[in-house]
Amino acid sequence: SQTIHQWPATLVQPVGSPLSLECTVEGTSNPNLYWYRQAAGRGLQLLFYSVGIGQISSEVPQNLSASRPQDRQFILSSKKLLLSDSGFYLCAWRRDRNSPLHFGNGTRLTVT
């Protein structure tokens, strides 16, 4: 069976510090991978998605970037965090664009 791992679960970082959140999927190959941010009252916002190694698409301009160095690894980064980057970050995967999304357990990021 397939599993998705996301870490860390919680993170408190000062403004201006770098960020690296990691997500890995097990039990499948060449998954479609996604980063979402969830803010209270605003629903799930798609940040980045990837259909293959090195292929990253951004949905919204922002202070964040994503990379996919390996088939089942997806990383969300920032060089300098802003207060507005605080939120609940979710990684997700799906087998292909006709399949449902499956989410990790998220990272609660607080920028102070």
Partner 1 sequence: EDQVTQSPEALRLQEGESSSLNCSYTVSGLRGLFWYRQDPGKGPEFLFTLYSAGEEKEKERLKATLTKKESFLHITAPKPEDSATYLCAVQAGYYGGSQGNLIFGKGTKLSVKP
Residues making contact with partner 1 (CB under 8 A):
6, 32, 34, 41-44, 46, 49, 51, 57, 59, 90, 92, 97-98, 100-106, 108
Are residues 65 and 77 in contact, defined by beta-carbon separation less than 8 angstroms?
yes
Angle in degrees, CA 88, 69, 46, rounded to 5: 30
- Nearest distance in Å: CB 16, partner 1: 27
- Nearest distance in Å: CB 13, partner 1: 19
Q: Which is nearer to partner 1, 63 or 105 (CB)?
A: 105
Q: Which is nearer to partner 1, 18 or 30 (CB)?
A: 30
- Alpha helices per DSSP H over 1-108: none
- Nearest distance in Å: CB 12, partner 1: 15
Residue 102: partners with Cβ closer than 8 Å, 6 or more residues away: 2, 4, 92, 93, 94
Q: Which is nearer to partner 1, 72 or 94 (CB)?
A: 94
Q: Which two tokens stand for residue 105?
A: 């357990």
